[in-house]
Amino acid sequence: MFWLTYTVDGETRRLLLAKERVSLGRMPDSDLVVPDHTVSRRHADLVRTAEGWKIVDLGSRNGTRVNDVAVHESPLSSGDTIHLGSFPLRFEEDIRDRVQITPSEEDGLVTEGTIIRPVEEIQSALGLAELEKPAAAPALQDVQRLSRVSRILSVLSEVSRTLLSADDVEGVLEKILDVVFEYLPAQQAVILLVDPKTGALESRAVRQTGKGTGPIRISSSIARKSREDGVAILCHDAQVDPRFKAGESIRFLGIRSALCVPLKLKDKVLGIIYADTPLKTKAFGDFDLDLLSALSGYAAMGIRQAELRAAVEAERRAKARLERYHSPSVVRRIISAGEAAEGIALDVREVTGTVLFADLEGFTSMTENMPPGEVAHMLNACFSRMTDVIFGHEGTLDKFIGDCVMAVFGAPIPTQDHAVRAVQCALDMRWALEKLNREQADKPPLVFRFGINSGPLVAGDIGSVRRMEFTVLGATVNAASRIETSIARPGQILVGEATYHLAKDEFLFEKVGDMEVKGLSKPLAVYEVKGQIEDDPGGRS
């Protein structure tokens, strides 16, 4: 399996090459749409042949390069860097798919030939507590142990900062493998993490010496014991060790020497680090076991910190996206509810709510002779005030449509008083616009027409895989729009019959009539909002 890895807006993305021919370019129908002005509309194709993958330039304006060499057509190898114009991509084989954990029988009794030690015991021993006593000259074995510990701590001091500051989990895992292959005589190594959903071990990082292409098989006997018992394992010759009597697992794999340590954080095992040498016996020693065990502690902390950073960044992005449409209080409720939120319509679902349309009367003709910058300034000043009013009533700003604003109440968070909120919001928007007109008396006055309707809505994130936005759809939305565009006069707030029945105890209404509305099979009873019941017009300033 091969991938293209690339970065857009600081976010790393991957495209699985699942077709025989994969198109690259700026055209919307490309398999990979590249958002870069140096890339041609149809820039290049990746083509799978009997020999492997190759890239073919399609006569692009700024050319194609592979490893900084300009090419028209070139074969590709895993790790190659491709530039379409100035846009970089990386062609990679995902060798994680070649990792196999082979089934085996239960482990036999513990005998000689393999070292199995609790990983905490090894990590604790690196503290040198017993060597700090001011006793007589240390014995030779203590001197040798001190030397080994000193070497291990020297290695850890070099890698600890990198592990704890890596941007993501993949960065942590790759650094772990760097250390494994720099300091240990491993021929292949795999890091497996526990899938939080299934509880199974899942390969997340793999490395081999040379250019191996076959499957990478891991003994389930060794992996299971290390994970379940939290122990570090050193097999000098796994094929003859009856402790892992699963001959189907170990002898079949040809494992001569293996290391396996758990990635353990307090009492939780996050996964395992596994390394072996299919071609050598006794390739690993005590130093290798101690180093990998010590490294696993830093690695587990690095993985957890990277996961926390990723969660914080995901929350930041989600919050930034939500703040475009929802009031701060609604955003806090959505984020705090998380996956357990019931009724919150970010996934597409049917809800009951109220939709409000407010359109500036005659704005196009009013501004046709004004400079574009001044028009934009007027709209921004107006819509900024209106957004504050909408958010003040916990409404959702669906979208701006030219000089029209669309808001929804009762979605994504359901509320029982969505119709009351929408009507009160319209009254406050009308008042806020009047105040804005007084503040900028040197400019033409702005006047809204309002259309409001309540009923069933399809609400949620809707769009393409490249751009999703929260919105609402359905006949309720269409009726609200028709009331505003076809019936309402400047300054009027008109509502449909459902909104009237839901809000009539809070506001004064006057029936306009049963109106024919385009798109509806029967006339719609329309009412005008005349004010709030027992409203004091002099109460505002």
Confidence of residue 515 (pLDDT cuts 50, 70, 90): confident
Residue 280 sits in the same domain as residue 247: yes
Higher pLDDT, 501 or 183: 501
- Residue 138 placed within a domain: no
Domains in the chain, number: 3
Give the CATH number, domain containing residue 289. 3.30.450.40
Split at pLDDT 50, 70, 90, the class of 313 is: confident
One domain for residues 82 and 104: no
* pLDDT of the residue at 92: 86
Q: What is the model's pTM? A: 0.53
How many other C-beta atoms lie within 10 A of the C-beta of residue 169? 21
Q: What is the pLDDT of residues 119-172, one digit of tens each?
A: 665 555 544 333 334 444 444 444 445 455 556 556 566 666 666 666 778 888
d(CA 60, CA 85): 8
Tokens in use for 176? 């772990």
Q: Is 483 within 8 Å of 526 (Cβ atoms)?
A: yes
Q: Do 302 and 351 share a domain, yes or no?
A: no
What's the pLDDT score for residue 136?
A: 42
| Residue 8 included in any domain | yes
Sequence-ordered list of residues with C-beta below 8 angstroms from that of 44, at least 6 positions apart, any chain: 24, 25, 55, 56, 57, 58, 60, 64, 84
In a domain, 137, yes or no: no
Where does a domain end: 266, 294, 309? 309
Identify the band that residue 412 occupies on the pLDDT scale cut at 50, 70 and 90. confident
What is the C-alpha to C-alpha distance for residues 477 and 451, in angstroms, rounded to an integer? 10
Same domain, 282 and 391: no
The answer to whether residue 537 sits within a structural domain is no
CA distance 379 to 360: 10
Specify whether 196 is located in the same domain as 82.
no
Structural domain range at position 51: 2-94
Same domain, 153 and 90: no
Strands 87-93 and 81-84: antiparallel
Residues 430 and 381 in one domain: yes
**What 3-state DSSP class applies to 63?**
coil
Residues 6+ apart with CB under 8 A from 459: 345, 348, 349, 350, 351, 353, 408, 411, 412, 470, 471, 472, 473
Distance in angstroms (rounded) separating the CA atoms of residues 454 and 354: 4
Rounded mean pLDDT, 465-486: 84
Identify whether residues 281 and 352 lie together within a single domain: no
Q: Kindly state the DSSP code that residue 326 receives in the 8-state scheme.
A: B
**Among candidate residues 286, 309, 332, the one where a domain is terminated:** 309
Chain mean position to CA 46: 27
